[in-house]
Structure 1
Amino acid sequence: MTNRPEGDARAARNERREAARQRAQRARAQQKRRQRGVRLGLQIGLGVVLLAVATIVTLVLVDSVQPAGPGPSNMSQGGITIGQGLKAETAASAKPEPTATDASGAVRITMYVDYLCPVCGQFEAANGEYIESLVDSGAATVDIHPVAILSNRSQGTKYSLRAANAAACVADNSPDQFFAVNQALFAKQPDENTAGLTDAQLIKVVTGVDGLRKRSTIAKCIEDQTYAKWVDERTSAVSGGDIPGSTLTTFPGTPLVLVNGQHYELTSPITNDDFRTFVVTAAGATAGTPTPSATPGRTSTPSATPSD
């Protein structure tokens, strides 16, 4: 057995402790480097994810606030004006701002219609031919504003929006046939809460109108829903109280009918005699029509109101 001096044994123990301490320091340093690397990787990964999310949100927000773009060239205020001979006032001749009365002395009729609105259909059935005769003769002009109040009343097909878009397509491409197309859309009006007409059926109704120009262009406009976003924007504006040709600040629903700026309150049932009386009274008997016979008193008729 070999005996070591006590000092040598102590020195050996100290060397072993020092070596163990250095190994522990190196291990801790490596662990810290690994932890920093993991944290850095997580931060970079999180940053990439947040950047991607921010980009998506920005794109969605930009798309949601992006303006609808220009509407039909002959509907600068959301409606088209039809005058004598049932001819439209085009962009070159139309007045920049619709007013309650017509400068020519003709009665000015303004209508806001939804092609799915049943009361609009009833009003058209009772008074369409009368309005046509007034406008055709030059005794009146009519501003027709298609809106899409009932877009959620057609089993998800948004028929109101698609029909109003179809009307806008005609206003832009064949404006002189707009009045006839308006009549045709009401003649083929589907029932509320049904799917309504398909795009192919809408195209057939619209392009079947005599004298229509640019049929293929209008058909593509209907298929592409070229003015759907514009119609939606105008409908929101009207529902919010921006009602050109009127002093109203609250939209009462469709059909909204005004004669020289005066709001015609619908009767129940809707009758032509009552509307004739209102036209003559509102126009100061300038409509060139005989005074109608007495009509029943007014009662309120429900109309289509903006839906959520």
Structure 2
Amino acid sequence: MSNGDPAQRPINGERRAAARDKARQLREAHRKQERRRRAAIRSTIITLVVAAAAIVAVVIVSSIHEPSRGPANMASDGILIGKGMKVDRTSAAAADAKPVANKPDSSGQTVSIVTYVDYLCPYCGDFERTNADQIGKLVDSGAATIEIHPIPLLASHSNGTKYSLRADNAVACVANYDPNSFWALNKALFENQPQENTAGLTDQQLKNLVKQSGAKNYDSIAKCIDDGRYEQWAQNALDRTLTGPIPNSSVKQLKGTPLVLVNGKQYGGSLTDADEFRGFIVKAQADTYSTPTPTPTPTATSTK
């Protein structure tokens, strides 16, 4: 049997060597490609792990943020306005902090008027519109102080907009940034009071009233309103009044608005009769500071 042309054997050998070399190159290329693929997978995994860790860190940091705070100048959960319509300044406290009650005047020179009001409450509106002018004059002259506690009791009575809560947030923003315009805004809110069980004023309308009330630092106040910054504080303040007791009075807890106190005595008269409320102020002041006439001590009569 012929083994073929001997001249072809080297050629066939070269082809086999070339094939082996080609196979080796392909295997090497495959190994390099596999190494690159694995490196890419490891890099992707590392990137994902780092990203996940960053997300977890953000969540943890966000969950350990500083507790929300209440507004400055409302440490009692109300704002105290005195002579010249100037506000008694206090520092801000945590939204859930126990309120610090204001101390009534013990000299007998100043009447203490305290109101707990809801900006959607129609009865609050009746009282405020009837008595705001005479209260303002008494306070401006120094004959009285007014301490106003905004209470979002009717937050669920505004077609889902939580108007009472938003209005309380707005006045708290003003108390924080320009407290001396609080009285003007309080009055404006009742003069423009929406009806109960309506959507109430929008945040923009609230900001318009802030501007019309002459508040300074308007940009800061507007952002505060948009952020709803003091809504949690307002809700906490409501909870505290519902739990009670009401400071500087014999009232155990808030049962409705308006709650009006004069020298700690609860007013229960007409909400639309300014004369009746004025008479109550005079009587409360007399009852609080009148000095009883001492009863003479009988002396023995000599029979001698």
Instruction: Name the TM-score, length of structure 1 as normaliser.
Output: 0.67
Q: Determine the C-alpha separation between the residues in 2 that align with 1:260 and 1:285.
A: 9
Within-5 A mapping of 1:119-268: 119-210=123-214, 212-267=215-270
Alignment of 1:29-68 (within 5 A): none
Report the AA paired with residue 277 of structure 2.
F
The offset of 1:239, in angstroms, is 1.2
Q: CA deviation at 1:244?
A: 3.0
What letter is aligned with 2:118? D
Q: What amino acid does structure 2 have at the position aligned with 1:79?
A: G
2:101 to 97, 101, 109: 97
CA distance in 2, matches of 1:285, 1:176: 31
Tell me the alpha carbon deviations over residues 206-240 of structure 1, each in whole angstroms, 9 at most, x when there is no partner.
Answer: 12112x11100000011101000000011011112
Superposed CA RMSD in Å reads 2.4
SS at match of 2:223: helix
Cα distance change on mapping 1:102 and 1:67 into 2, 3 Å: farther
Amino acid aligned to 2:247: P
Matched, 1:281 2:279: no
% same residue: 47
Tell me how far 1:178 sits from its aligned partner: 0.7
Q: Which amino acid aligns with 1:124?
A: E
One-letter identity of the residue aligned with 1:260:
N
Which has the bigger relative contact order, CA under 8 A and spacing at least 6?
A: 1
Deviations 1:80-106 (A, max 9, x none): 1000011101127xx95323x324530
Whether the 8 Å CA contact 1:107–1:286 is kept in 2: the answer is no
Counterpart contact for 2:243–2:253, Cα < 8 Å: yes
- Structure of higher CA gyration radius: 2
Q: Is the 8 Å Cα contact of residues 263 and 288 (structure 2) preserved in structure 1? A: no
Give aligned pairs, total: 220
Q: Report the residue type matching 1:159 in the other structure.
A: Y
| Runs of 4+ more than 4 Å apart | none
Q: Gaps spanning 5+ residues in structure 2: where?
A: 1-58, 92-98, 290-304
- Structure 1: 5+ residue stretches without partners: 1-58, 288-308
Name the CA distance, whole Å, in 2 between partners of 1:206 and 1:181: 6
TM-score (norm 2): 0.68
SS in 2 for 1:265: coil
SS of equivalent to 1:193: coil
Matched residues in 1 for 2:66 and 2:253: separation? 24
Secondary structure (helix, strand or coil) at the match of 2:224 reads helix
- CA spacing shift, 1:251–1:128, aligned 2, 3 Å: same
Look up the equivalent residue of 1:77 and give its one-letter code: S
Q: Distance in 2 between matches of 1:197 and 1:180?
A: 17
User: What residue is the counterpart of 1:74 in the other structure?
Assistant: 73
One-letter code of the match for 1:226? R
Instruction: Call closer, same or farther: CA 1:68–1:153 in 2, change over 3 Å.
Output: farther
